[in-house]
Structure formats: structure tokens, C-alpha cells
Amino acid sequence: MPVFVRAGSAVPMTGSSRRVPAVTVDPLEVAVYPAAGPTESVLCEEGGRSRFRLSPEKGGHRFEWSGAVSRRIVVRSGAGARAPVLARIPPERSKKGSLFLRLRPWNGPAATSRR
């Protein structure tokens, strides 16, 4: 099914399921769609809010996250199982951090590096 996503979105997702999980989603998959300007997305859960920011920088985008829940985070360029994995963030780093993603708004990922 086609889905239209606003440029700059960081869309939190979970694996396939018949219903919304009653427990914390782990791992949380975040599909990023870069834009020309900075953007922020918020995920509200019972454990607290998680914020995801995408900011353009020279050669790519800065992806920042902060949240109250400790869990694994998988960052993908776009949605779906075939979307390239850009980063796998372990639970001990999941509450706050940032990554530099070599993404362009118009043509997807080229590479990923951590700072």
C-alpha cells in the first residue's frame, strides 16, 4: 500500500503485529526521510516521550534522539524490511544521542558514520 510521508519525518515503527503491543516496543525502528530544513518528530508512549530530530549538515543530516525508554533503536532510510539500515543503537545509548547520516533529501543514503 503506498504511503505518503512528509520530507523530514522520522517515523517510529514496530515489526508486524496483529495488535498494538502492550509492552515497550523493542527494537523500535525509525524510518527517516530527510528534508532540506530541520525537523522534529515526537513519539508519545506510556513510558514517556521520545523526540527525533533531523537537521541538515554539510554532506548529510544529523539525527538526534532523546527519550525516557531504554531499548534498541534501528534507524532506516525509509520504511520496510528492505530499507537500508543506517544504524543500530544499543539500549545503553538509546536515551540520548546523535549520529551523522550521509543522506540527501533527493536520493537516499550513501553511507553512515558516527561522531
Report the domain count for the chain. Answer: 1
* 59 Rama sector, left if φ>0, alpha if ψ -120 to 50, beta otherwise: left
Confidence of residue 26 (pLDDT cuts 50, 70, 90): confident
Range of the domain at 73: 23-101
Query: pLDDT by residue (tens digit) across 62-72?
Result: 999 998 888 88
Which stretch of 30-44, 67-81, 96-110 has the lowest confidence by average pLDDT? 96-110
Query: For residue 68, what is the domain's CATH number?
Result: 2.60.420
- Between CA 109 and CA 60 the distance in angstroms is 9
According to DSSP, the β-strands at 60-67 and 96-104 are antiparallel
Assigned domain for 37 exists? yes
Q: Is 91 helix (H, G, I), strand (E, B) or coil?
A: helix
Model confidence pTM above 0.75:
yes
pLDDT the model gives residue 108: 42
pLDDT value of position 65: 92
7 falls within a domain: no
In a domain, 64, yes or no: yes
Give the per-residue pLDDT at 62. 92
